[in-house]
Structure 1
Amino acid sequence: MQVVSISSLKGGVGKTSVTTGLASAALAAGIPTLVVDLDPHADASTALGVRPDDRLDIGRMLKAPRRARLADNVVPSDWVERAGGSSPAGSPVSILDVAVGSAYTGIYDRPDLGRRDLRRLSAVLAGADNYELVLVDCPPSLNGLTRMAWSASDKVTLVAEPGLFSVAGTERTMRAIQLFRQEFAPNLSPAGIVANRVRSGSSEHSFRLAEMQSMFGELLLSPFIPEQANWQQIQGAAHSIHHWPGDSAKNAAGLYDALLANLMKSGPRTGPARDRSRR
């Protein structure tokens, strides 16, 4: 199992769009996947077409993590039904579950969480054995929720637009990850940086992409994700990019397939979230 945090310390760069794009690619590939919606705005939950109903949302699971039964409280995404319940190759029934987000998680989004609180998500994910991939959609801050996610993760994927402030913010986030590794999570590693909302005709974006390649080298993942004009419509309809009609969506789906393959190619490490929860 790989646990990957999708992070950005700057809002508005499309972090949740990247999370749901990767989830869509995982569903299409038949990879059993859990999305943990740790952002109090719960936008990923909306895009994935889920509601907690009578189950515990992730905030309430974090409140009593050792008593929370993850398997009893995750909600299957509506995307699975739209996909026909199986991968395109006819492999066994696909799994795309969601630990539903809620404003309740905001009580943990503080800068003063201690080590015990930072292990709450690790304890919840001790029940995630039946997934190959866990994607954690983090809030756009370096407060308690993001640090909790990093504590539970194998890798951090950063999302950045090719703009001045976003690139500068990504550099600061890379430094924050290094400091966090030294103090709390020595096995954590940066999985790479996703350049999102790229406009091919923009000279500014071309300049910033070259700057990012110079600054981050092989950590800048390929392919880049172009600006998708109808992304808000797709998310508002609670559809996966792989099941939205049109050539634009088809092309974007292919990019997310390649991005997911690059993200996972380093191979899983077994049991890191459970090991950290026992410390």
Structure 2
Amino acid sequence: MQVVSISSLKGGVGKTSVTLGLASAALAAGIPTLVVDLDPHADATTGLGVSLGAGKQLGIGEMLRTARRAELSDNVVPSGWVANARRLRKGTVGRKPVLDVAMGSAYSGIYDRPDLSRRDVRRLTTLLSRVTGYGLVLIDCPPSLNGLTRMAWTASNRVMLVAEPALFSVAGTERTMRALELFRAEFAPNLGPARIIANRVRATSNEHAFRLAEMKQMFGDLVLTPTIAEQANWQQIQGAAHSVHHWPGESAKQSAATFDALLKNLTDSGGVRNRVARRPVA
């Protein structure tokens, strides 16, 4: 099972949007996927079409509190996107689409502090250790290097850093890379090299072209291609709690293709597709 943290130490760069785009691509590709919404604001949960508090399932914060006893698989809920995916696949042969959500919770904020013990840092690892049946787990992290992000990195095989092609974002990404190297050495020696996704790129911007070249000079092949273009109707798509792959229009189609390519890069390097067949047929 490939576990990927989507991170940024700078807010407002579209980290949750990238998480949702990758989840949309995974759903379209038929990869059984779990999204863990570790950000106390729970924006990923909302964007995935899940109503907070609508059922009896626990949020991720409550599960972290009782990590040794809580069963994450008993508390996940299906994304609202799945109904559309099933409708579009009606009459086709294959596995039922699976996109589940471990709901975000304001309660998780009690762990978003810099002084967590080693035991606390492993709470999410403990929860995920009992989960089976998914090929991919995406963790949407809060924009900080406090306890919740450290939990996510400890539980992950890989970290994807989201950056905009702008001065402060590039500088923040460099700081994050240094912090991640220190964290790997002390807590997570098996964590793979971080990759960087450039988001909200404007092809007509000279500043964006300059900053992209700067990122490639600084980080080399760690900067993934393709970059994600700025999309005017992205907020409308998220506001409707819709998968980009199910949204009409040419710009959404182009965005979907970008996320397909980024997901392929991730799955080819992580072997996700080889693990999908272990999901039992419902």
Q: Name the TM-score class by shorter chain.
A: over 0.9
Maintained 8 Å contact 2:177/2:194: no
What is the count of residue pairs matched by the alignment? 269
Q: Give the equivalent residue in structure 2 for 1:241.
A: 244
**Whole-angstrom distance in 1 between the partners of 2:17 and 2:145:** 19
Q: Give the equivalent residue in structure 1 for 2:68.
A: 66
For each residue in 1:222-276, what CA deviation from the matched residue of structure 2 results, as whole angstroms up to 9, or x when unmatched? Answer: 100001111111111110000001000001000000000011211249xxxxxxx
Maintained 8 Å contact 1:86/1:94: no
Matched, 1:197 2:200: yes
**Whole-angstrom distance in 2 between the partners of 1:31 and 1:191:** 22
Matched, 1:133 2:144: no
Equivalences for residues 163-174 of structure 1 within 5 A: 163-174=166-177
Q: Which residue of the other structure, out of 89, 101, 111, is the alignment partner of 1:108?
A: 111
Amino acid at match of 1:4: V
Q: Which residue of the other structure, out of 56, 59, 69, is the alignment partner of 1:57?
A: 59
Q: Give the equivalent residue in structure 2 for 1:17.
A: 17
- The 3-state SS of whatever aligns with 2:10 is coil
Equivalences for residues 4-43 of structure 1 within 5 A: 4-43=4-43
For each residue in 1:191-212, what CA deviation from the matched residue of structure 2 results, as whole angstroms up to 9, or x when unmatched? Answer: 4100000001000000000001
Could you tell me the percent identity over the aligned residues? 71
Q: Give the equivalent residue in structure 2 for 1:45.
A: 45
- The 3-state SS of whatever aligns with 1:134 is strand
**Whole-angstrom distance in 2 between the partners of 1:208 and 1:170:** 12
Q: CA 1:106/1:217 → structure 2, altered by over 3 Å: closer, same or farther? A: same
- The 3-state SS of whatever aligns with 2:270 is coil
The Cα RMSD (Å) is 1.4
- The 3-state SS of whatever aligns with 1:189 is coil
Maintained 8 Å contact 1:6/1:19: yes
- The 3-state SS of whatever aligns with 1:130 is coil
Q: Which residue of the other structure, out of 212, 220, 223, is the alignment partner of 2:223?
A: 220
- The 3-state SS of whatever aligns with 2:31 is coil
**Whole-angstrom distance in 2 between the partners of 1:125 and 1:235:** 27
Amino acid at match of 1:60: E
Q: Give the equivalent residue in structure 2 for 1:274.
A: none
Amino acid at match of 1:162: P
| Higher deviation after alignment, 212-221 or 83-92 | 83-92
Maintained 8 Å contact 1:85/1:94: no
Maintained 8 Å contact 1:86/1:93: no
Equivalences for residues 81-100 of structure 1 within 5 A: 81-84=83-86, 90-100=93-103
- The 3-state SS of whatever aligns with 1:156 is strand
Q: CA 1:96/1:86 → structure 2, altered by over 3 Å: closer, same or farther? A: farther
Amino acid at match of 2:64: L
Spell out structure 1 runs of 4+ moving beyond 3 A.
85-90
TM-score, normalised to structure 2's length? 0.93
Unmatched 5+ stretches in structure 1: 270-279
- The 3-state SS of whatever aligns with 1:136 is strand
- The 3-state SS of whatever aligns with 1:127 is coil
TM-score, normalised to structure 1's length? 0.94
